[in-house]
Structures are given as C-alpha cells and as structure tokens.
Amino acid sequence: MPVAGTMAEIIHSDGKEYWLRNVILITVAQFFAQVAFCAAMTFMPFWFKETGHITDPGELSMYVAVYNMAGNLSFCLFAPVWGILGDRYGRKMMLLRATLGGAILTPLMAFIGSPMLMIFHRLALGALVGTVTAAQTLIVSTTPQKHLTISLGAASAGMFAGIMGGQFLGGEMVSRFGFFQTFIWGGVLLAVSTVLILFTKEEFHPVIHKKAPHRRKFQIPKFGKAGLLLMLFIVMGFSRDIDGPFLPQLVMEVEPDSTEALRWTGWINGLCALGGMLSGLILGYAASKISLLKVLTFVIAIAGVMRILLSFASSSELIMVERFIQVFAAGGMEPMFQAWLAGISRPRHHSMMLGWSATARSTGWMTGSLAGGGLAVLFGGVHGLFLVSGILYFLMLPAMKWVAKRVPPPALVEKKKRA
C-alpha cells in the first residue's frame, strides 16, 4: 500500500469536485505572477546601465551574467528543500510561500540603487520563489488523473500568457514610468496572485514514515541510462539559455535611444513568448506523427542557424523575426526531451525523474549565464556571444545521437520490440 502523500498516491487518486476551481484559480494566479516577474526581470540590463551606472559593455555583460546566475543558483539549492517541506506541510502552503515571498521582495527592488545589492536581492528572490513548480504540484495533488494533462496545459498557457503580457507591458511601463513604479506594481500583482491561491482547496495528508523518520537520509537515486538523458538536459539548458540575459544588450546596440530599446525589447520578448507557447503544441504534435529524434534534430539545427544570424542582425526588425523563429524551434526541445525521459522511466518514477530533469536544466541555465558573460567580454560584445552560442546548438546534435544509440527514444524502443 503506498505511503500517504507520495506522488504515486497523488497521481492515481480520484480527485475531488473542487479540482476545476483550483485549476482556474491557479491558472489566473500564474498569469498575474508571470506578468509581475517578467515585467521586472526582463529589463534588468537597462537597470544596471541606467540606475547602476554601468556603461562599459564588457562590465555590463558580466553584471548581467552574475545577476542571472545568482537567481538560478539559489533556486537550484532551495528547490529540493521546498519539495521536502511540501510533503510535510502541504503543496498549497508552498505555492503561497512563493507568491507571498515575491509580493514582499519584488517591491523592495524599487529602493535598491547598488548593483551588488541587487545581485544579493536576486539570490534571496531565487531562493524564496518558484511559483511554476509549486503551481504544477498543487494541480497534480488535487486533480483526477483523467483531467491531469489538460489541467497542467491550462496552467502552462496561463504562465506563457503572463510571460508574454509581462514582456509586452514591462517595456512600456519602464519607458513611461520608470523602474520604481514597475517594481511596485509587480508586487501588487503578486499580492493579487497570493489572494487567489488562498481560495484554492487541498485535502493534505502528510507523508507517514513508519520507522525513525529522523534517521532517513537524502540519497541521490541510481539513474542508470536515464543519467545520460539528464546530461542532455544540462547541455540543453546551457545551449538554449546562454544568450537569454543578453538579448536586451543586442537591442541596445542597434537602438541607441534607451526608450526605443526598451520598447523593442518588450515587443521582441513578448512575441517570442507567443512563439514558445505555440511551439510545444505544434512540435509536440509533429513528434507524435513523425519521429521524436528527427523533429529534435530539425529544431536544434533551425535554432542554431537563427542564433548565428542574430549575431549579424543590424535592426530591431531583423532581431524580432530571427529571434521568434529561434525561440519557436528551441521551445519544443524541452517537452520532447521530457517525453523521451518519461518514455524510458517507470511510471512510479516519472515525478522524481522529471524533478531531477528540472534541476539538470537549471544547472545548465546557471552555468550558461556565467559563460555567456565571459564570452561577451572575450569577444568584445554580445554579437560574438550569439555567434559562438549558435555553434553550440550544432554540437548538441552528435551528443544527442550518441545518447539515442544507448537510450533509444520511446518510438525507437517500440520498433525494436516489434522487430
């Protein structure tokens, strides 16, 4: 009999009549939370330049890299802690922790004038928040299995809509009203998100250990061949997101006027969020009809070509078109890698394996942010960074094929069995 509160019990439970209300409230709350975070975080290179008075391009790149690395580092370290506490005190409590923590910390950014203090603030914010994972866990714990896929899809749509809205509105707000009001309003939206979560319901049953719970120790599981796939998640996070923090600087180089650069950055990122939202649906369907490995190879190659072209972009319009295609291609990578991982894992280990994949991906983000700053300094600007990071995509292809020979994707496994 499964232990109360485990993921196996959660996923296979029948759910309650309040599950639909929870999904609606969480989806709307995710929308507001992502608008707040993206409006505040997307334009931080402009904050370091204008408020932090860092004008040297190389120095600016390093500050942006360290800032993003700080958030990913603290998130990686504290995510397992919040997961353990969620098993003990409830998933709703963890989602409230994330939204309320953001509502308190985000407005404090309005009163920071030091670049180093802002980096320490990012460490604290990364440690305390994490609304996406907390929201997904609460939905899984309260939704009947037959409605789980569409419920998680609804929350994902709310997240992407919030990202798109935050990046569109953030540029306009910063250019019209400044960072101070943008940060304050971000806190207000997160407070609204917190209130919405208060109206969700969870019948929580804590994890029960029969023998000496204080003696249980955390152990890293034996991944076996799945460990090779987790290494691909690290490479994917590194390659896909190495350039993300530096897109505003690329726009700055073609738009000397700060106000125009802010607006263009907002529009470009907002359109790219729409591309990411469509990508998972369209490319996921393509992978189910053709071949997961073939679709992955195609999208990685397209993403690499577009990023290389971005290094030569001479106008904001070109950046918008090329970035949209790149994000659309790269946006389908993670769902396909997750499907690959789920296909080779035992059902009772799905949640654990996908959790470790999130940690692997975040490790790639963290190291990618720091490496991106170093490349920008090495090549004297972000154009060189985009060129080299585009080549990194193509280096993923032989690594992925090497892993596929040892850990075939689900479709290939089925063909071998039939043969």
210 in a domain, yes or no? no
* Domain tally, the chain: 2
Cβ-defined contacts of 345-353 (< 8 Å, 24+):
345/226, 348/8, 350/7, 350/11, 351/7, 351/11, 351/140, 352/7, 352/221, 353/226
Cα gap 230→358, rounded to integer Å? 9
Q: For the residues 200-219, what does the mean pLDDT come to?
A: 60
Same domain, 127 and 252: no
Q: For the residues 328-338, what does the mean pLDDT come to?
A: 80
pLDDT of residue 61: 82
Domain boundary among 203, 238, 267: 203
Q: Would the pTM count as exceeding 0.95?
A: no
**Portion of the chain with pLDDT greater than 70, in percent:** 84
Is a pLDDT exceeding 70 seen at residue 418?
no
389 in a domain, yes or no? yes
Same domain, 297 and 259: yes
Same domain, 337 and 369: yes
135 in a domain, yes or no? yes
Cα gap 45→52, rounded to integer Å? 10
Same domain, 300 and 333: yes
pLDDT of residue 9: 42
**CB contact burial 62-83 (16+ within 10 A = b; e otherwise):** bbbbbbbbbbbbbbbebbeebb
Which residues, in sequence order, are CB contacts of 82 under 8 Å at separation 6+?
Answer: 94, 97, 98, 130, 133, 134
209 in a domain, yes or no? no
- Are 72 and 365 in contact, with CB atoms under 8 Å apart? yes
Same domain, 241 and 179: no
Q: pLDDT band at 281, cuts 50/70/90?
A: low
215 in a domain, yes or no? no
- Hey, what are 368's tokens? 């990618």
Instruction: Identify which of 73-77, 286-290, 292-296 has the greatest average pLDDT.
Output: 292-296
Same domain, 146 and 262: no
pLDDT of residue 276: 75
What is the DSSP track for 252-307? HHH--SHHHHHHHHHHHHHHHHHHHHHHHHHHHHHHHHS-HHHHHHHHHHHHHHHH
218 in a domain, yes or no? no
Cα gap 303→326, rounded to integer Å? 4
- Are 265 and 251 in contact, with CB atoms under 8 Å apart? yes
189 in a domain, yes or no? yes
Same domain, 234 and 196: no
- Are 223 and 135 in contact, with CB atoms under 8 Å apart? no
Same domain, 191 and 298: no
**Is residue 63 helix, strand or coil?**
helix
Per residue in 122-152, pLDDT tens? Answer: 999 988 887 877 787 788 777 776 666 567 7
Cα gap 18→200, rounded to integer Å? 8
Is a pLDDT exceeding 90 seen at residue 192?
yes
351 in a domain, yes or no? yes
- Are 262 and 174 in contact, with CB atoms under 8 Å apart? yes
Same domain, 177 and 251: no
Same domain, 271 and 405: yes
- Hey, what are 361's tokens? 């991906």
Same domain, 251 and 295: yes
Which range marks the domain in which residue 174 is found?
Answer: 1-203
Per residue in 85-128, pLDDT tens? Answer: 777 788 889 899 999 999 999 999 999 999 999 999 999 998 88
Cα gap 207→2, rounded to integer Å? 10
- Assign residue 418 the CATH number of its domain: 1.20.1250.20
Q: What is the chain's mean pLDDT, rounded? A: 81
Cα gap 344→142, rounded to integer Å? 26
Same domain, 311 and 177: no
